[in-house]
Amino acid sequence: MPLAVRAEIGYKKLAMGPVTATATLGRPAADVVAELDAGQRPEFPVVISIRREDGAVTGEMTVVWTLRPHS
């Protein structure tokens, strides 16, 4: 079960009109799954970049997640 641990957001430029958000996993997925399989609660960041149609970055966000095994 995914649980958000903490989040941070930075506003860079005004965003008017359509935007696109791109999320990137901050650790290799295999490492996260291996920790979960070993009985640990892995933490991993997901970095999100928000861009206007002209390509300008309007915001950046990082959410740190943990995984808890289903009981």
Domains of the chain: 2-67 (3.10.129.10)
Residue 71 binned pLDDT confidence (cut-offs 50, 70, 90): low
pLDDT digits (tens, 9 = 90+) for 19-55: 999 999 999 999 999 999 999 999 999 999 999 999 9
Would you call 43 exposed, middle or buried from its count of C-beta atoms within 10 A (0-12, 13-18, 19+)?
Answer: middle
Identify the three-state secondary structure at position 40.
Answer: coil
Q: List CB contacts of 60: < 8 A, sequence separation 6 or more.
A: 9, 10, 12, 47, 48, 49, 50
Contact 35, 10 (CB under 8 A): no
Predicted TM-score (pTM) of this structure: 0.85
Residue 69 binned pLDDT confidence (cut-offs 50, 70, 90): confident
